[in-house]
């Protein structure tokens, strides 16, 4: 499925259902909430496809969401760009 079709589907889906969704498609990390969809190329992050699903990203999102639970899309975006090794 082309990336644009996935983005359009997620845009419509997140308008209909109140959730924050993160997925991987065609080497793009896609985040969506309330009709807003953000993408970032996987090679522009410190993640691999396997590391996305082993718990590192959800742990970062949970840690940042503790401080900002109203803006989960911003939290997810910050978590993807957050490199713990630079702290």
Handedness of CA 7, 8, 13, 14 (dihedral sign): positive
Sequential pLDDT tens for the chain (87 residues): 899 999 999 999 999 999 999 999 999 999 999 999 999 999 988 888 888 888 888 888 999 999 999 999 999 999 988 865 555
Q: How many CB atoms within 10 Å of residue 86?
A: 6
pTM (predicted TM-score): 0.85
Decide: 47 and 28 in contact? Cβ < 8 Å. no
Look at residue 23 in the predicted model and tell me its pLDDT: 93
What does the domain layout of the chain look like in residue ranges?
3-81
As a dihedral over the C-alpha atoms of residue 69, residue 74, residue 78, residue 81, rounded to 10 degrees, the angle is 150
Look at residue 30 in the predicted model and tell me its pLDDT. Answer: 96
- The answer to whether the CB of 23 falls within 8 A of the CB of 49 is no
| Residue 20 CA: distances (Å) to CA of 8, 14, 69, 84 | 15, 8, 11, 23
Q: What is the reported pLDDT for 87?
A: 53
């Amino acid at each position: 499925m082309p990336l644009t079709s996935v983005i359009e589907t997620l845009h419509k889906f997140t308008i209909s259902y109140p959730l924050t969704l993160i997925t991987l498609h065609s080497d793009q990390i896609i985040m969506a909430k309330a009709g807003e969809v953000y993408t970032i190329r996987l090679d522009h992050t410190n993640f691999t496809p396997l590391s996305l699903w082993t718990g590192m990203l959800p742990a970062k999102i949970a840690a940042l969401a503790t401080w900002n639970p109203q803006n989960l899309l911003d939290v997810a975006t910050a978590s993807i760009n957050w490199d713990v090794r630079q702290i």
